[in-house]
Amino acid sequence: MKKAFMGLRLKRLREEQRLTQAALAQRLGISLSYLNQLENNQRPLTVQVLLALNSAFGLDLQVFSEDDEARLIADLREALSDAAFGETIAAVELRELAMNMPAVGRALVTIHRKYRQSIEQAGLLAARLGEDRQSDVPVLPSTPFEEVRDFFYLRHNYIAELDEAAEAIAQAMDFPIGQMDTALAAYLADSHGVKLVFETIDDLPSGNERKFDSRTSTLYLAPGLRPGQRAFQIGTQIAMLAFDRELTTLVDGAGFTSQEARGLARIGLANYFAGALIMPYGRFLAAAEQRRYDIELLGYQFAVGFETVCHRLSTLQRNGARGVPFFFIRVDRAGNISKRQSATDFHFSRVGGTCPLWNVYEAFASPGRILTQLARMPDERTYLWIARTVSHARGKYGAPTKTFAVALGCDVRHAERVVYSEGINLKTANATPIGMGCKVCERPDCAQRAFPPIGRALRIDETRSRFAPYATS
């Protein structure tokens, strides 16, 4: 554990509990002078004191975790690099703010997100009125997809209410791991009177694998689905029918700004439930630890695909039974991010693209092959990344096959628990320097830079030579 000076957090805890210094010192079993030194950042917080805080107040130790601090630093760096703020905030100042005044930091991030929404709304209004919008401030839309991603991100990609409910059903019904499609179909019929139809139907929405007809209580599934895929779609429908109230409560409490965002969140939560149902938390975590997070072996055991395993691995953040904290992402060949889930602090920018040096893009050159990479961010944190392509086809002749690259990453300090670290010297291996996207990346000497960083001017000659239109290479 690194030295952690968190005096302001201790003071805030004491104020919230309405305790004097003497009373808190007594509850923690430490001397008054030692507590005074902790609160004034003269001594670092130790593991023993953290455990005492947990015992005395039932605090989740995540409140004092470095991962949460790094998540906030990443969010602050993105928000405060916006051109509207005018000047660059030094990394050391961001770290001080995140460590000592996290509530203020989160307020700044929230203000920036609301600012982005206002910019988008002003642009849309101007377009409707037929006005030419002249502004040097970039439009940074907060789409319904981004709203839903933020919802899962803020909850560390773990939804306890749904995860625990799904596990309870799987245990009570003794569903067979890896062979759940038939058992779930019987459960859906017995509990909700829903009939399954696997034949092709012409009006199945494009790209969809499931359609529910509430009038006839019939669930239509696309042809060609594998058993695990069928189980997932049936599990999603079980969530929609059996946990309608819970889904509504979660969506209502999130404060989404549009009906589209509410609808997307509801589907995302139902999909989360389905994954938790066919891969129950306790059994899946035990299998993952036993197999050292080998994605393909876990796929064989639970009869699901590579992407589904990656997605589930990014959710193992139950208090008291945490797995390796992973970041999961899915991109297409053009760099569009269609899925981004995080149980950790790794954070890519919403401001224009990601990093071309990241191995998720190299995966397209080696279809079906697992690629590994040690990557170092500008804040010097290093991550182990696993990337591979996955393809989705509807089975119809002439139908296009959708190909994506999925990537799973974790902080290097967890890498020894993961089978993909074998053969890599984690202490001496050279890590690839990557960033959060060119517009917010702090690396001035990157040969792959596509844009100058927002809010930071480059030399005139450098801008002309590297970023001017029609520049030659």
Q: In CATH, what number is assigned to the domain containing residue 33?
A: 1.10.260.40
**In 3D, which of 14, 42, 40, 12 has the Cα closest to residue 27?**
14
pLDDT score at 225:
85
| 50 and 86 both lie in a single domain | no
| 220 and 272 both lie in a single domain | yes
Is the model more confident about 453 or about 152?
Answer: 152
| 178 and 252 both lie in a single domain | yes
Q: What is the DSSP letter of 341?
A: E
Question: Could you say which of 278, 307, 328 is where a domain stops?
Answer: 278
Question: Could you say which of 218, 243, 278 is where a domain stops?
Answer: 278
pLDDT score at 372:
94
Strands 371-376 and 432-433, by their bridges, are parallel
Question: Whole domain around residue 262: which residue ranges?
Answer: 143-278
The arithmetic mean of pLDDT across residues 307-321, rounded, is: 93
* Residue 25 near residue 34, CB atoms below 8 Å: yes
User: d(Cα 146, Cα 156) in Å, to the nearest integer?
Assistant: 15
* CB neighbour burial string for 151-173, b if at least 16 within 10 angstroms, e if fewer: bbbeebbbbeebbebbbebbeeb
List all residues 6 or more positions away from 27 whose beta carbon is below 8 Å from its beta carbon: 19, 52, 56
pLDDT score at 165:
96
Helix orientation angle between 66-80 and 102-128, rounded to the nearest 10 degrees? 40
| 129 and 170 both lie in a single domain | no
The arithmetic mean of pLDDT across residues 407-417, rounded, is: 92
Residue 257 binned pLDDT confidence (cut-offs 50, 70, 90): confident
As given in the structure block, the two tokens for residue 176 are 């067979």
* CB neighbour burial string for 45-84, b if at least 16 within 10 angstroms, e if fewer: beeebbeebeeeeeeeeeebeebbbbbbbbbbbbbbbbee
Is the model more confident about 430 or about 62?
Answer: 430
Q: Which of 4-13, 60-69, 174-183, 305-314 has the lowest mean pLDDT?
A: 60-69
Is the model more confident about 34 or about 386?
Answer: 386
| 122 and 242 both lie in a single domain | no
User: d(Cα 38, Cα 4) in Å, to the nearest integer?
Assistant: 10
User: What residues are paired with 373 via a beta bridge?
Assistant: 385
Q: Helix, strand or coil for residue 339?
A: strand
11 falls within a domain: yes
Is the model more confident about 20 or about 353?
Answer: 20
Neighbouring CB atoms inside 10 A of 244's CB total: 12
Residue 168 binned pLDDT confidence (cut-offs 50, 70, 90): very high
Q: What is the number of structural domains in the chain?
A: 3
The tens digit of pLDDT for each residue in 84-114 reads 666 677 877 887 777 777 778 888 888 888 8
| 148 and 264 both lie in a single domain | yes
CATH code of the domain in which 152 resides? 1.10.10.2910
| 151 and 134 both lie in a single domain | no
109 falls within a domain: yes
Angstrom CA distances, 14 to 10, 11, 96, stand at 6, 5, 20
246 falls within a domain: yes
At residue 427, does pLDDT exceed 50? yes
| 60 and 71 both lie in a single domain | no
Angstrom CA distances, 213 to 60, 181, 193, 203, 241, stand at 43, 20, 12, 12, 12
At residue 198, does pLDDT exceed 80? no
The alpha carbon torsion through 254, 260, 264, 265 (nearest 10 deg) reads 10
How high is the mean pLDDT of the chain? Answer: 81
89 falls within a domain: yes
* Residue 347 near residue 367, CB atoms below 8 Å: no
Question: Could you say which of 278, 302, 321 is where a domain stops?
Answer: 278
The arithmetic mean of pLDDT across residues 252-256, rounded, is: 90
pLDDT score at 378:
79
420 falls within a domain: no
Is the model more confident about 116 or about 277?
Answer: 277
Residue 235 binned pLDDT confidence (cut-offs 50, 70, 90): very high
| 166 and 135 both lie in a single domain | no
**What is the CB-side half-sphere exposure of residue 6 using CA atoms within 13 A?**
23
Identity of the amino acid at 89 = I
pLDDT score at 60:
61
Q: What is the DSSP letter of 170?
A: H
At residue 281, does pLDDT exceed 70? yes
Angstrom CA distances, 346 to 68, 69, 230, 291, 410, stand at 10, 11, 32, 24, 8
pLDDT score at 87:
67
* Residue 404 near residue 364, CB atoms below 8 Å: no
Q: Which of 8-12, 153-157, 301-305, 371-375 has the lowest mean pLDDT?
A: 8-12
450 falls within a domain: no
232 falls within a domain: yes
| 152 and 254 both lie in a single domain | yes
| 221 and 138 both lie in a single domain | no
The arithmetic mean of pLDDT across residues 255-280, rounded, is: 94
Phi, psi of 352 (to 5 degrees): 75, 85
pLDDT score at 290:
96
pLDDT score at 191:
92
466 falls within a domain: no
| 85 and 138 both lie in a single domain | yes
Start-to-end CA distance of the chain, whole Å, equals: 47
